[in-house]
Structures are given as C-alpha cells and as structure tokens.
Amino acid sequence: MPAFTTRHLGAVAAALVLTAAAPAATASAAPDARADLREVMFVGNNWDGTADVIRSTGDFARIGRIDVVPDRAERMAEINADPIRWIYFQAIRNGVGEGHDQLVDDMYSTPDGTSVVVSRPSFADVVSIDLATGDIEWRFPVSGYRSDHMAVSPDGTRVAVSASTSNTVHVLDIGTGEQVGSFATGDKPHENIFTGDGRYIWNMSIGEVNTALDAPWLDWTKGDRHITVVDARTYEPVKVVDMRERLDAIGLGDHSDAVRPAVFSPDESTLYFQVSFFNGFFEYDVVTDRITRTKTLPKNPATSEDRTTWVNDSRHHGLSMSPDGDKICVAGTMDDYATVVDRGTLQEGPLVAAAKPYWATVSGDGRHCVVSESGADQVTAIDFGTGEKSVSVPVGDHPQRVRIGHVAADWTGPSAG
C-alpha cells in the first residue's frame, strides 16, 4: 500500500465528498420504474441456507423463499475430499458459525430482477440463482476459504465480495460472475460500501474475531485493521484510514479499531461506524479525517461483561440511516435491543427489545428501520419517526443480512421444476 500524508488524505477526502454530491448513476433507479418488477427485501437465513423474500413496506409479509444451497451435496463432496478445505470448513462452523454452517451471508438481486447473487461463507463462493427456477447460473469461488459481506454498485452491474482469509475483495460482473477487478485489504475484510456515484469502494477489515484474546491490552493481536478506499474503475487504493490513530487522538486507546458495520450521511461527508466490543458508535468527518463525536449506548445489565462470550467480538452490529439523514438505527446485538438515535443530538429513543439483532437496513419507503433478530428468527420494523416497533415477521434460522432488491411482479418463489 502506498503511504498517504495528511495533505493527501484531505485532498482525496474532499474529492470523495465532491463526487458524492453528484447525481448517482441513473441505472440503479431503473428497476423501480419497471411495471413488471416488484421491490422486496431479501433476508438471508444463514444457518438454514435459505433467503426469505418479504415485502419492502407495509406489513413486510413473506412472499416466497429461495434455497441458496441447491448444490450442497456437490460442495460438501468437494470439501470432504480436500483435507485443508475440510479443516477451514470445520473452523468456520465451530468459530464464526457458532456450531452451524454459514450458508448465506449477503445477497443482491440483479437489475432486471431475474436473479439473486449470494455469498456463501462456508462454501467460500458467490453464486447467482435464477429466481424463476432456483437453479445456479454461475459460481465464483473466492480466493482463500471464506466469503463474506458484499456491496453492489449503484448501477447494479458489479458486486464486490470480501474474501476473509485471503485479505482480498473481488469485484464481479453481476450478470456473468466474471471478475472485473480485485484489491488487497487489511486483515479479514468485512463490510464493503460503494459511494453513491460509484467511483469509490470503501472496505473495512476487522481482523481476528474468533480468538479468546479479547482483553483491551491484547487488541494488538487482532491483526492489521484499517479502512481501504479504492478507485472503483482501477481498483487502486486512493486512501487508507487506520482508526487506531484517530481513536488514540481522542483518548480512546482502550477501544478496538476494528470497524464493523458503517453508514454514510446522505452527502457522504460523514461516516458513522461501530467497532468491536463497543456499545455505541462513532462519527467520522471524511474531510478533516477525524472522529468528531462518540455515542455510547446503554448496556443491558443481563449481558455478560466477559468479552469472550460476545459473538465474533461484536457488542453492537448493524447500522442504517433514514433517507433524510436525521435518524440512525442501531442494532444492539449482544444487548438484545435496537434503537433509533437522533443524528443531531445523538439522543437515543426507546430501546426496542430484540433477540441478538444482527443487521439494520431501511424499508423501501424509508419510513422504517428493519432489523434481523438472529436469536428469534424474525425481522422487526421500527418506525424512524417514533422509534417504536411496528411489526415483526417470522423468517428462517438465524437471519443476518437484509437487502432491498427486486423480483418479477408476480413472483412467489421458484417453480417446482
């Protein structure tokens, strides 16, 4: 990675903000205008190996379900025939999977609503599944032994996927599965975010999250964790941010620098992010390159203070923001609640009881935050305006990622054949 001075960081950050203010690629809006497509939410049921498709607004009722591992027998035969892959497969099951196979992490539909592209951690791949038939159209094995979070470009043509064990992000053509680029990251790449104009990709690496070396003084054992920003055309790095330096600058040297879920303000001048072990989030000014505010959220007195019992070093894992930028929704994973925070005052609203909420996204109409309750096998919608729960909908085993997408207007699930 090239070294960047403060002057370089400031110049690049200013460019990022200026380009973010430009109109995003119009192709991303095309599906909404097509009468033959319906906006939905995809809910990945990680331990089931299924994805539930639910309404994106209103009652959020389930429309259909997809088997995202129709080739499970074939994949398992390959793993069982390869001793190294078998070891990694078992490590994923007994570590990050909490004793379960990780069969779906992330998913996005194609712009025409005919397919859904899914990352499958235990199988170390990305597949495209035909929504009409349930068949696999293409498969891309990632480098290393585990696939993770993805992001789709604003025009819907490319998908970026983190390859956890190889410290690489692959960028694929969403229609063909062919790699169009890749870039190196810090240890254990996790979250990916395309900027609104599609010019940059931000990747957050989280380091080792499955060791028991969780005391603050042992944080250095977790690896090289930083944000990598690359040009989404050349896949060359344009900015590297190490939050260790920024946390130390505000006297928080005992906090982890592993950036977990993150969300930009509408103009992308400000980034809000969670870190390992922390019950709250930080506000980071992209232009000045510094953390400007810290929000500490309430602890659940029933939550153990033994950090080794927290799932994958998470305390809180999941952020989303209302379209107007006024409210931030937080999934308080290990504290068993979700809450809506006023962005101006950083005052939290009601603590909505939720069983190990693992992700937060925004409903199709922008009125609700939708969190996945991985401990209750349901998704729950919380009104951004009131901070109160509106509805909960049952889904499959251990829901995690929830993404907006599109299907055919009359779709109710793959055909039996």
In CATH, the number for domain 6-22+33-408 is 2.130.10.10
Cβ(274)–Cβ(319) under 8 Å?
A: yes
Give the pLDDT of residue 15: 52
Which pLDDT value is given to residue 22? Answer: 40
CA pair distance 117, 178, nearest whole angstrom? 13
- Evaluate whether 119 touches 161 at the Cβ level (below 8 Å): yes
The residue assigned the tokens 């998908």 is: 159
Q: By the 8 A CB rule, do 105 and 149 touch?
A: yes
Q: In the structure encoding, which two tokens stand for residue 35, read together?
A: 């009468």
pLDDT at residue 28, rounded to an integer: 37
CB-CB contact of 19 with 199 (8 Å): yes
**Cβ(105)–Cβ(117) below 8 Å:** no
- With beta carbons less than 8 A apart as the criterion, state whether 171 and 192 touch: no
pLDDT for 98: 85
Domain residue ranges in the chain: 6-22+33-408
Amino acid identity, position 78: E
The answer to whether the predicted template modeling score (pTM) of the entire model surpasses 0.85 is yes
CA atoms of 102 and 94, how far apart (whole Å):
10
pLDDT value of position 96: 82
Radius of gyration, alpha carbons of the chain = 20
* Contacting residues for 8 by C-beta, under 8 A, at least 6 apart: 239
One digit per residue, pLDDT tens: the chain, 417 residues?
Answer: 333 333 344 445 545 544 444 433 333 334 555 679 999 999 999 999 999 999 999 999 999 999 999 999 999 999 999 999 999 999 999 888 888 999 999 999 999 999 999 999 999 999 999 999 999 999 999 999 999 999 999 999 999 999 999 999 999 999 999 999 999 999 999 999 999 999 999 999 999 998 888 899 999 999 999 999 999 999 999 999 999 999 999 999 999 999 999 999 999 999 999 999 999 999 999 999 999 999 999 999 999 999 999 988 999 999 999 999 999 999 999 999 999 999 999 999 999 999 999 999 999 999 999 999 999 999 999 999 999 999 999 999 999 999 999 999 999 999 854
Query: What pLDDT score was predicted for residue 406?
Result: 97
Q: Are 200 and 238 in contact (CB under 8 A)?
A: yes
